[in-house]
């Protein structure tokens, strides 16, 4: 979604805000703008459609600066991506400006009422309504006028507002999309995500829904929308600012693919005991007694996190023998799900602010189901509303197409499944120890895969002209096929579809010809009888594809000569246990998608029409 950055303090604001907006480019946007209270005691606004370089050019041609201001990158919802619709938006008299993430659902009714009172609108956006509502209620105190405006608005919003009639303050508020407040030395920051301000401060807190923050050069005051004081705990963000930079890689996505051994290791750290042979989840805050008492589990997520959830179903049912259902966050609350105190609802979100997943979490809580959040952002809304949380420790993920967040979620789900199996007695001590020993080898095996990038460059050279791809997997590998297809379509714009390999005869065989690449997950665990059976069935699928002249790209065990003789292209991966294979299988598919997209000249980090965090329904 859109990005917000605001600054108030002793320094010049423009460079700080522009730097923050650049760090939020990964969220996706189509226009940008900035507003500062300048030396003439007026609010100067600069806006431009397109990329931030266009806004930089507008500032170069017509400079401005001041000690406080706000900026915005917009992803169009109401109104085209034009300069007129770019944020910040003014009131009728030009006394205040607002930036806004979210949607004002009743904006037409409000607009008609304001027009009847003489307000003139200059844009097609719902955001401009907010500026006029605040103007209408302003009597000298900005936060009081904002409260009056918010009382009339239906929808979701994150806003930041400044006024020349009540200067030297920024008023920010949240009802839905995230807002983070940064605390510096005699300077303060507001943003929609941590990376925007991480180079200036590590001390931050997130606003909760219904919170308003009033930032001045001397401090931050917190209230609810009525004006009652509230408090929020400050978190120390441990990410190094350099983690949010490219670090010598061509794209953030490439960097994040290569960070997966580290993020996987960090997600296991302190949770899998090599010496004790036990899994530990002390920070989850749901007692072992509760864990043993759950009769079923629901997992709710969206997008890539939904694919992790599907794999998590296999992990939990296999290792802990608890029935699991997986739902899309966007569908969950619309089917009146049957659940109660004996159901654990797991919500998965990289950002912890995904609107659909949040709504599903609240639905589960309303029915008495405890919720466990698997998330990458400490202090995010999903973690605050959950009974327990399992952090993924992936660090900031900037590329819109998720990579390391996905493998970190898979790792967290594996640890949770192993812990549940251990506590519920469905795994013996020897089985737990064996799984831990193999899991701790996974980061090293990931590094082996990443050392052979030339394979994917050559594959991309051969396959980048294909118009369609098919991805096939069986069992726990089917969700990984779905994720591989999603990665390709997200960043290369090539149509791709993931399918259960056993369903080939029920339709997909009709698509296969000499132009269709079929990526088949054919790796297996030689020590697992079920895995060997799956492998034999997958070999049959390869033969089906070859019989129809399809192009087979097989991800297989190192040294598998049978697959090598049948497939057109082979991507070897190290051998590991069946439940851990997804962590290795996904990396070749990420790299294949990445190199095809690069070869096609696509915007890898910011694919068209997509945003990093979907904070509105």
329: its two tokens: 């966050």
Beta strand pairing status for 569-573 and 155-163?
Answer: unpaired
DSSP string spanning 278-332?
-B--GGG-S-HHHHHH-SEEEEEE-HHHHHHHHHHHHHHHHHH---EEEEEHHHH
Structure tokens at 348: 């998965």
What is the pLDDT averaged over residues 84-111? 89
Q: Could you give the C-alpha distances from 478 to 67, 311, 471, in angstroms and in order? A: 54, 8, 9
1 has pLDDT over 60: no
Side-chain half-sphere exposure of 1, counting CA atoms within 13 A: 26
pLDDT: is 355 or 525 the higher one? 525
d(CA 24, CA 57): 19
Instruction: Report the run of H or E that residue 561 belongs to, with start and end.
Output: helix 561-566
Name the pLDDT band for 242 (thresholds 50, 70, 90): low
- Alpha carbons 197 and 503: distance in angstroms, whole number: 48
pLDDT at 615: 45
pLDDT of residue 89: 93
2 is known as an active-site residue: yes
Residues 6+ apart with CB under 8 A from 365: 371, 385
Compute the average pLDDT of residues 99-127: 89
Closest by Cα among 417, 453, 448 to 557: 448
Give the Cα-Cα-Cα angle 439, 445, 487 (nearest 5 degrees): 95
Q: Average the pLDDT over 262-275 and give the result.
A: 88
The catalytically annotated residue of 22, 313, 445, 612 is 612
Task: Read off the pLDDT of residues 364-385 as tens digits, 9 standing for 90 and up.
Answer: 999 999 999 999 887 788 988 9
Strand partners, 70: 6, 35
pLDDT at 428: 95
- DSSP conformational letter for 272: B
Helices 429-439 and 404-424: crossing angle, nearest 10°?
170
Based on the number of CB atoms within 10 Å of its own CB, is 8 exposed (0-12), middle (13-18) or buried (19 or more)? buried
d(CA 330, CA 275): 42
User: Where are the domains positioned within the chain?
Assistant: 3-243, 246-440, 445-604
Residue identified by tokens 């061509």 is: 250
Secondary structure of 370-398 in HEC code, one letter for each residue? CEEEEECCCCCHHHHHCCEEEECCCCCCC
Q: What is the pLDDT of residues 408-431, one digit of tens each?
A: 999 999 999 999 999 999 999 999
H or E stretch covering 232: none
pLDDT above 70 (res 613): no
Q: Using an 8 Å Cβ cutoff, are 168 and 142 in contact? A: no
What does the pLDDT read at residue 616? Answer: 46
Give the SS3 label for residue 275: coil
Mean pLDDT to the nearest integer, 540-553: 89
The residue from 2, 302, 375, 602 that is catalytic is: 2
- Here the tokens at position 356 are 């659909």
Q: What is the pLDDT of residues 427-482, one digit of tens each?
A: 999 999 999 999 999 999 999 999 988 899 999 999 999 999 999 999 999 999 99
Q: The domain 246-440: what is its CATH number?
A: 3.40.50.10490
**End-to-end Cα spacing for the chain:** 11
CATH number for the region 3-243 comes to 3.60.20.10
Question: Order of strands, edge to edge, in the sheet holding 155-163?
Answer: 89-90, 96-104, 155-163, 170-175, 211-216, 219-224
Q: Could you confirm whether 441 is annotated as catalytic?
A: no
Strand ranges for 394-540 from DSSP E: 468-473, 495-500, 517-521
CA 227 to each of CA 52, 136, 146, 274, 452: distance values in angstroms, whole numbers, following the listed order = 36, 19, 11, 52, 58
- Residue 611 — pLDDT band, cuts 50, 70, 90? low
Q: What percentage of the chain has pLDDT greater than the value 90?
A: 68
Residue 26: pLDDT band (50, 70, 90) is low
Total Cβ atoms within 10 A of residue 219 = 10
Weakest mean pLDDT among 244-248, 292-296, 353-357, 394-398: 244-248
Across the chain, what does the average pLDDT equal? 91
From CA 419, how far away is CA 290, in angstroms rounded?
13
Do the domains at 3-243 and 445-604 have one common CATH topology?
A: no
For residues 408 and 393, the answer to whether their CB atoms sit within 8 Å is yes
pLDDT tens per residue across span 152-185: 998 878 999 999 999 999 999 998 788 999 999 9
Say if residue 162 is preceded by a cis peptide, omega within 30 of 0.
no
Task: Decide which of 3.30.2320.50, 1.10.3720.10, 3.40.50.10490, 3.30.2320.80 is the CATH code for 445-604.
Answer: 3.40.50.10490
State the residue for tokens 């009056």: 148
Sign of torsion over alpha carbons 413, 414, 418, 424:
positive
| Strand, helix or coil for residue 78 | coil
Higher pLDDT, 80 or 137: 137
């Amino acid at each position: 979604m859109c990005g917000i950055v605001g600054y108030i303090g002793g320094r010049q604001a423009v460079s700080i805000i522009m730097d923050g907006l650049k760090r939020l480019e990964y969220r996706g946007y189509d226009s940008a703008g900035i507003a500062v209270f300048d030396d003439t005691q007026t609010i100067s606004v600069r806006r431009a459609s397109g990329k931030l370089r266009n806004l930089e050019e507008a500032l170069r041609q017509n400079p401005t600066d001041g000690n406080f201001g706000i900026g915005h990158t917009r992803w169009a919802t109401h109104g085209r991506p034009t300069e007129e619709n770019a944020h910040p938006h003014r009131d009728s008299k030009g006394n205040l400006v607002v930036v806004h993430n979210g949607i004002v659902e009743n904006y037409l009714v409000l607009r008609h009422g304001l027009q009847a009172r003489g307000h003139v609108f200059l844009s097609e956006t719902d955001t401009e309504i907010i500026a006029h509502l605040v103007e209408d209620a302003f009597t000298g105190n900005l936060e009081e006028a904002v409260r009056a405006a918010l009382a009339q608005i239906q929808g979701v919003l994150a806003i930041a507002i400044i006024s020349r009639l009540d200067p030297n303050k920024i008023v920010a508020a949240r009802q839905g999309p995230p807002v983070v407040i940064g605390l510096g030395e005699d300077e303060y920051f507001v943003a929609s995500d941590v990376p925007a301000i991480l180079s200036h401060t590590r001390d931050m807190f997130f606003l909760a829904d219904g919170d308003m923050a009033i930032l001045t050069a001397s401090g931050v005051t917190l209230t609810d929308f009525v004006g009652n004081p509230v408090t929020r705990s400050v978190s120390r963000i441990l990410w190094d600012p350099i983690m949010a930079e490219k670090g010598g890689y061509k794209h953030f996505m490439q960097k994040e693919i290569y960070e997966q051994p580290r993020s996987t290791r960090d997600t296991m750290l302190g949770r899998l005991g090599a010496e004790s042979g036990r899994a530990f989840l002390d920070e989850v805050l749901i007692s072992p007694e509760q864990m043993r008492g759950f009769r079923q589990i629901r997992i709710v997520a969206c997008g890539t996190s939904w694919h992790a959830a599907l794999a998590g179903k296999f992990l939990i049912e296999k290792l802990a023998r608890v029935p699991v259902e997986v739902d899309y966050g966007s569908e969950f609350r619309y089917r009146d799900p049957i659940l109660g105190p004996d159901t654990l609802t797991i919500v998965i979100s990289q950002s912890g602010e995904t609107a659909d997943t949040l709504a599903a979490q609240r639905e589960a809580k309303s029915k008495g189901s405890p919720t466990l959040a698997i998330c990458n952002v400490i202090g995010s809304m999903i973690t605050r509303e959950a009974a327990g949380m399992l952090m993924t420790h992936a660090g900031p993920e900037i590329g819109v197409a998720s990579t390391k967040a996905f493998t970190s979620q898979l790792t967290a789900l594996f640890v949770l499944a192993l812990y549940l199996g251990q506590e519920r007695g469905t795994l013996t001590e020897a089985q737990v120890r064996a799984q831990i020993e193999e899991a701790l080898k996974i980061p090293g095996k990931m590094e082996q895969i990443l050392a052979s990038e030339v394979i994917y460059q050559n594959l991309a050279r051969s396959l980048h002209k294909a118009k369609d791809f098919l991805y096939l997997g069986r069992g726990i590998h089917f969700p990984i096929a779905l994720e591989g297809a999603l990665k390709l379509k997200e960043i290369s714009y090539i149509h791709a579809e993931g399918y259960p390999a056993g369903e080939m005869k029920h339709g997909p065989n009709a698509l296969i010809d000499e132009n269709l690449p079929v990526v088949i997950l054919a790796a297996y665990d030689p020590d697992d009888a079920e895995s060997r059976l799956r492998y034999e069935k997958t070999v049959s699928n390869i033969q089906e594809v070859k019989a129809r002249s399809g192009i087979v790209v097989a991800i297989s065990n190192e040294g598998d000569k049978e697959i090598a003789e049948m497939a057109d292209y082979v991507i070897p991966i190290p051998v590991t246990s069946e439940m851990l294979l997804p962590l290795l299988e996904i990396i070749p598919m990420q790299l294949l998608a990445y190199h095809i997209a690069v070869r096609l000249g696509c915007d890898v980090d910011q694919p068209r029409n997509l945003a990093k965090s979907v904070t509105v329904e």
